[in-house]
């Protein structure tokens, strides 16, 4: 196996690109909020209550930068301290994303209907739960469980990114974004990501016993 393949660069690059769909707009929002004056490019509620959206955006950018390091095989094997630091950054960013999301759901006017708000609430609770379980697992040296819960947490957070792959075909089909898209897009993205990760985890469980069996049978 080549050194390049051991770095699992495809996964790391994919996470960077997927996270960029949320992080780059978030960075743009932060840059406008820092100017301190209302801006026509932002929703009025962002200008009226900049702290919650600013915290959400900053946490999103930190999450985007830290998460790929968690999945880098090279980083985990050669820079364990940096891997641990990026894990803590990921955990804090996930907490910031969830808490600021709750704040905006409670105090900001709905940007869509109840299903959209319910999906955001479920995503926030699921994110906190997943990363809490990941922290518990690594503290108890249950590394496979730790990795599985990190994957679930990232899948939940990046449900917002996956909506782009749903919205673009819908836009091409209808020539515009139908009103129902704002209501269900986050739910679709969340379900797609969670189902995909659970499929990967179960597929890995099925293949591991076979690999072990092959090794043992070959040594007899």
Q: What is the tens place of the pLDDT at every residue in 175-190?
A: 777 777 778 888 999 9
Q: CA–CA separation, 68 vs 45, rounded Å?
A: 32
Is residue 208 scored above 80 in pLDDT? Answer: no
- Would you state the torsion angle of the CA atoms of residues 203, 204, 208, 214, taken in this order, to the nearest 10 degrees? 60
Q: What is the pTM of this model?
A: 0.83
Q: How many CB atoms lie within 10 A of CB 131?
A: 25
Band (pLDDT 50/70/90 cuts) for residue 134 is: very high
Q: CA–CA separation, 173 vs 170, rounded Å?
A: 5
Per-residue pLDDT at 3: 47
């Amino acid at each position: 196996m080549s050194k390049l393949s051991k770095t699992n660069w495809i996964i790391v690059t994919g996470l960077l690109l997927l996270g960029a769909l949320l992080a780059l707009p978030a960075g743009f929002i932060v840059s406008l909020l820092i100017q301190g004056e209302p801006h026509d490019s932002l929703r009025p509620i962002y200008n009226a209550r900049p702290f919650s959206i600013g915290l959400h955006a900053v946490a999103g950018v930190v999450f985007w930068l830290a998460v790929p390091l968690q999945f880098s095989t090279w980083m985990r094997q050669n820079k364990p301290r940096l891997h641990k630091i990026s894990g803590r950054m990921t955990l804090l960013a996930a907490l910031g994303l969830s808490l600021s999301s709750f704040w905006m759901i409670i105090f900001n006017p709905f940007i869509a209907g109840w299903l959209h708000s319910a999906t955001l609430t479920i995503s926030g609770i699921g994110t906190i739960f997943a990363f809490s379980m990941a922290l518990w697992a690594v503290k108890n040296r249950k590394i496979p469980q730790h990795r599985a819960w990190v994957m679930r947490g990232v899948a939940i957070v990046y449900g917002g990114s996956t909506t782009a792959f749903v919205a673009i075909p819908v836009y091409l089909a209808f020539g515009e974004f139908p009103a129902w898209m704002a209501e269900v897009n986050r739910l679709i993205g969340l379900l797609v990501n969670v189902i995909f990760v659970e499929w990967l985890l179960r597929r890995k469980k099925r293949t591991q016993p076979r690999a072990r069996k092959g090794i043992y049978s070959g040594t007899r």
